[in-house]
């Protein structure tokens, strides 16, 4: 999978930015990487600002970021919490801010495999990373449609999407909630 820098004048908020820290490798000091696990942030080798934080309870002021990213991170968050994460991201993005999602379709658990694993080769402009993203399989089904539905529930507009094999991508744009009132 080929990745390039994300163009933005402001900061990029990266949910689950620990571990391989791909977004931080691409955009360095423009990235605020959060992860709920300090160990994941400690192993990350890039110039991003690393903060231990829960994506379901963000401690940033509303409308603080131009861009939010999730690079194979939503798969690690409980499905029941995905809507809350989308609402939190909507809150911290500026109007017309973008939310980029790269993730994987996780089918219903089958056989006796306890863990779903996605092996992935990531080609960066000046680097190549081979890694695997694995998660306990029980109750982790997800697909592109699931995230498209969450986008609709949280006032994000889908402006781009693709899927290749089991991997998918969504580009969402925040639109301000309507504040108009109906006539009396």
Note whether residue 132 is domain-resident. no
Cα separation values, 20 from 88, 90, 149, Å: 23, 25, 28
Q: Which residues contact 39 (CB under 8 A, 6 or more apart)?
A: 18
Note whether residue 86 is domain-resident. yes
Cα–Cα distance for residue pair 150/84, rounded to 1 Å:
10
CATH number for the domain spanning 76: value is 3.40.50.150
Range of the domain at 53: 12-108+141-174
Note whether residue 43 is domain-resident. yes
Q: Where are the beta strands (DSSP E) in 27-155?
A: 31-35, 49-52, 65-71, 93-104, 115-124, 127-136
Note whether residue 134 is domain-resident. no
Note whether residue 159 is domain-resident. yes
Q: How many domains does the chain have?
A: 1
Give, for all 184 residues of the chain, the pLDDT tens digit. 999 999 999 999 999 999 999 999 999 999 999 999 999 999 999 999 999 999 999 999 999 999 999 999 999 999 999 999 999 999 999 999 999 999 999 998 877 888 999 999 999 999 999 999 999 888 899 999 999 999 999 999 999 999 999 999 999 999 866 444 434 4
- 144-153 vs 82-92: helix crossing angle, rounded to 10: 50
């Amino acid at each position: 999978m080929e990745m390039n820098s994300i163009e933005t004048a402001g900061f990029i908020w990266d949910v689950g930015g620990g571990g391989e820290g791909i977004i931080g490798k691409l955009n360095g000091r423009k990235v605020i990487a959060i992860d709920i696990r300090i160990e994941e942030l400690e192993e990350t080798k890039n110039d991003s600002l690393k903060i231990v934080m829960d994506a379901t309870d963000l401690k940033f002021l509303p409308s603080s970021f131009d861009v939010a990213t999730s690079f194979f991170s939503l798969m690690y968050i409980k499905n029941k919490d995905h809507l809350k994460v989308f609402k939190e991201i909507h809150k911290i993005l500026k109007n017309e801010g973008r939310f980029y999602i790269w993730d994987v379709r996780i089918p219903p658990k089958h056989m006796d495999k306890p863990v779903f694993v996605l092996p992935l080769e990531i080609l960066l402009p000046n680097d190549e990373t081979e890694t695997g993203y694995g998660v306990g399989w029980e109750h982790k089904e997800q697909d592109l449609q699931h995230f498209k539905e969450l986008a609709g529930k949280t006032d994000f507009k889908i402006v781009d999407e693709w899927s290749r094999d089991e991997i998918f991508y969504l580009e969402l744009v925040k639109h301000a909630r309507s504040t108009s009132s109906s006539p009396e």
